[in-house]
Structure 1
Amino acid sequence: MVITVETRKMYRYPFERVVDIHLNKYPTPLEEHVRGIKTVEEKKDNVSGIIYRKRIATCNNVLPSILRKVLVMNVDDVYMEEESWLDGKRRTMNIRSRCLTWTQYATLQEVSSFRECAANPNWTEFLQSGSVTVTGVGRLNRLFELFAQSFFNRGVKKSVAIMETILEQRYGCPCS
């Protein structure tokens, strides 16, 4: 079974500010489970101007103890890969993220985009869809899927709240 989550958020801040906060929000005391992010590749296409980045996040394993009884799930660190394509001319940033840990047991991926709002160029639209498929843990597949769905839903809300908090701290109240 595939678990999916979708979200849409309008940030009342300009594109450049929102993208800057996204690229620099972690680590932060607002999210204790993301311990660090390292850029492992960055390059700019001289013709299009698109900046490509590949980053690896080191996160705490948030699986509950009952799910950690499956020995391969009992690890301290979980690694996430994020690839992004920032197009300053079109004022868009597309992102693809996936979990690098437990790939033989589950597929966790997200596709996101930031883009200038068509109705108000001082606002930024954020779209995200994510999915989780668990296949390698037998009768526990459904239990892992239910946890993943709950975790995804909470994670999306928390990530948006962190973005809003940092934007407001750095730039003040949102522009109209």
Structure 2
Amino acid sequence: MGVVLDVKNVYRYPFQEVVNSYLNKYPTPLEKHVTDVKTVEEQSDSATGIVYRRRIATCNNVIPSFLRKFSILNVPNVYLEEESWLDMKTRVMTLKSRCLTWAQYASLNEESVYRECKDNPNWTEFIQRGTISITGAGILNCVLETFAYTFLKQGVKKSISIMETILQERYGCPFS
């Protein structure tokens, strides 16, 4: 089966400010579930100017206790891998994220793009597609997909709110 979540948002801040804020967003007191983000690989292509990063995020396990009765779900932390490609020439940052924990049972992926807004070069457009597909859990597949979808949807809203707060704290009122 599987579920898909599509999100679009415009930050009324320039691309560079949004990218800097995104790359330094976590950990933050605004989100207690993301406890650490480590850059494990970073490369810059001198020919294209594209900066590639691979980061690992450590998050608290937020699965409800009634589902943690299944030993596979009863882990203290969840690990996410994020790959990003930052192209300052075209003013586009592309990201791909996936859940490393439970990879043999679930596919949780996000593909995101931050780019300079076509309507206003002082703004930044954010587009994200999240997909979730769970297998190997029998009758729980649908329950877990529903929980994951709900959590992802709430997480995206919270993430956008956190970005707006950080941008406003760092750079003041948004551009009109």
| Aligned-partner SS, 1:57 | strand
C-alpha distance in 2, partners of 1:85/1:143?
Answer: 34
Code of the residue aligned with 1:144 in structure 2: it is L
Q: Alpha-carbon deviation of 1:67? A: 1.2
Match of 1:107 in 2: 107
Identity rate, percent: 60
C-alpha distance in 2, partners of 1:149/1:73?
Answer: 16
So what's the TM-score if we normalise by structure 2? 0.99
- Does residue 126 in structure 1 map to residue 129 in structure 2? no
Cα deviations across residues 62-86 of structure 1 (Å, max 9, x unaligned)? 0001111111110001000000000
Match of 2:28 in 1: 28
| Aligned-partner SS, 2:66 | helix
C-alpha distance in 1, partners of 2:149/2:92?
Answer: 28
C-alpha distance in 2, partners of 1:139/1:11?
Answer: 40
C-alpha distance in 2, partners of 1:91/1:24?
Answer: 18
* Structure 1 stretches lacking a partner, 5+ long: none
Match of 2:76 in 1: 76
C-alpha distance in 2, partners of 1:17/1:76?
Answer: 34
| Aligned-partner SS, 2:46 | coil
Code of the residue aligned with 2:169 in structure 1: it is Q
| Count of residue pairs brought into register by the alignment | 176
C-alpha distance in 1, partners of 2:160/2:6?
Answer: 13
Code of the residue aligned with 1:97 in structure 2: it is S
Match of 1:136 in 2: 136
C-alpha distance in 1, partners of 2:154/2:40?
Answer: 28
- Does residue 86 in structure 1 map to residue 78 in structure 2? no
Match of 1:15 in 2: 15
Q: Alpha-carbon deviation of 1:10? A: 0.4
C-alpha distance in 2, partners of 1:103/1:67?
Answer: 17
C-alpha distance in 1, partners of 2:5/2:141?
Answer: 18
C-alpha distance in 1, partners of 2:49/2:149?
Answer: 37
